[in-house]
Amino acid sequence: MGEVYALGVNFKTAPVEIRERLACSPEETRNILPELKTASGVEELCILSTCNRVEIYTFSTDEENVNLLLSLFLKAKGLEDARRHIFLHRGEQAVFHVFKVASSLDSMVVGEPQIVSQFKESFRIARELGTTGKILNRLFEKALRASKRVRVETGISRNAVSVSYAAVELAKKIFGDLKKAKVLLVGAGEMGELAANYLKRLGCQIFITNRTYEKALKLSQELGGNALRFEELEDYLSNMDIVIVSTGARSFVLTQRLVKRAMKRRNYEPMFLIDISVPRNVEPSVGGIDEVFLYDIDDLKEVVESNLRDRMREAKRGEIILWDEVKKFMGWMESLKIEPMILKLKEVTREMERESPYLRRLVFRAIREMKRNPDTASIIFRIFSEEVEDVNGRKGISYVYNRADGA
C-alpha cells in the first residue's frame, strides 16, 4: 500500500547556515520537484521551504525510493554531508508532524499564522505541477482542516507573542476601539515601526517624528502617515493618544515635565506611552502622572512571556485535536486497502442491483461496513461473492443479508 513520509531539516534539527543552503525559492521548487519525483520513483511529493524549515513530504510504496529521494535532494543542493541534520518520520508519526506544522504547533513562535499561508502555497505549487496525488492531496486538505480546528477550538493565537504586537494589545485594553486614535511614533526603530504598522491596520492616524526630518518624511510615506518636526514635539504631544518611543538617544526624550504639561493641555484624557528604546527614552517618573499609562521594554517582555506560557498550555490542547484528525486520516488510509474488494463487489452485484432496490441498499450497507471496519471486509466480500450469483428471489437476498449481518 505504501506510507506517508516527512523528512528534512528545521530550526530544531539544523543551524540556520544549513537551512539557508537547503532552502528552495518558489522558482527552484518548480524546477526540482518533477525531477526529484521522476528520478527517485516516489509516487507523490511536495516541498515546504521557509526560513525555519525545509521539509519534504512524500508518499511511497518503497522506503528505498525515499532514501534515494533524500540523496538526490542533498546532492542537488551540494550539501550531501547535511544528512546528520535530517529527521525522518513515517506513517502515523509523519502525518502527525505534517498536521503539527500546518497548525503552527511546530513553529518557533507557537501559534504564528504565517506558516498556514506558506503551507498552502507549497501545496498549490506541487498540485499544479502534478507531483501530488490522491494521498498527499487528502493529507494537505485534512492538515488545513486540523489547523482550522486548532485555531477555533484553542486560544493558540489569541495572545501577542512579539513585543510590538503586545504593545498594540495593551493599547486596545486601555482604549477599547482604536479607530481614529492618534498615534505618534518618535524615532524610526524597527519595533516601533512594526507597532505603528499594526496600529495603522486598526484604523489609527499615524504621525512620525525624528531628529532627522527627512527620515520621518520617508517613513511616513511608507506607513501612510504624517511627518512632524522633532523640535515642535511639545506643541503637538498633547494631541496624541498613543506615543511609541523607539530611538537611539542616550537620554530621556520625554521627561516628566514635558508630559505633565501635555496632559494638562489635554484635560487629563488618557495617554498611552510605549518606550521600546534601550536605554529608555521616557523618564520613569512619567508613569506616576494621572491618566498616563507607561510601559517599557521589560514590561512588554513580561506580557510576551506570560502569553507564551498560555500558548504552550493551549498547544497541548491543540495536539489532542491533531491526534483525533490523524486517527481519521489513518483510518482513511487503511480503507484504501479494501478498495479493490469494494470495486469487485460492485462489479459482481451490478446486474442484480438494477433489478432489486433491496439488494442495492444491502450492498450499500455492506460497503459502508467494510469501510467502517476493514477487518470484516474480506468476510463480507466472500459472502456476497458466494451467494449473490445464486440469488433468484427475496428469500435468497435475505439469506445474504443475514449472513453479512452476522459476520
Catalytic residue among 24, 46, 51, 204: 51
What percent helix, strand, coil does the chain show, rounded to 5?
60, 15, 25
Grid cell in block for residue 166: 503586545
Query: Taking a C-beta distance cutoff of 8 angstroms, is the pair 212, 193 a contact?
Result: no
d(CA 45, CA 24): 14
DSSP character string of 7-64 = EEEETTTS-HHHHHHH---HHHHHHHHHHHHHHH--SEEEEEE-SSEEEEEEEES-HH
User: Quick one: DSSP state of residue 376?
Assistant: G
Give, to the nearest 10 degrees, the angle between helix 114-129 and helix 134-153: 170
- The residues, any chain, with a CB within 8 Å of residue 25's CB and separated by 6 or more, are 49
In the block, cell 520625554 appears at: 254
CA 376 to chain centre: 38
Preceding amide of 279 cis, omega within 30: yes
Distance CA 185, CA 215 (A): 12
* 145-to-102, 121, 329 alpha-carbon distances in Å: 9, 16, 11
Reply yes or no on whether 46 is catalytic. no
State which amino acid sits at residue 284: P
The C-alpha atoms of residue 128 and residue 132 are separated, in whole angstroms, by 9
What is the grid cell recorded at 215? 527620515
Spatial contact of 179 and 206, defined as CB atoms under 8 Å apart: no
- Identify which of 150, 166, 161, 183 has the alpha carbon closest to the alpha carbon of residue 322: 150
Count of alpha carbons within 13 angstroms of residue 265, beta-carbon side = 14
Active centre residues (catalytic): 51
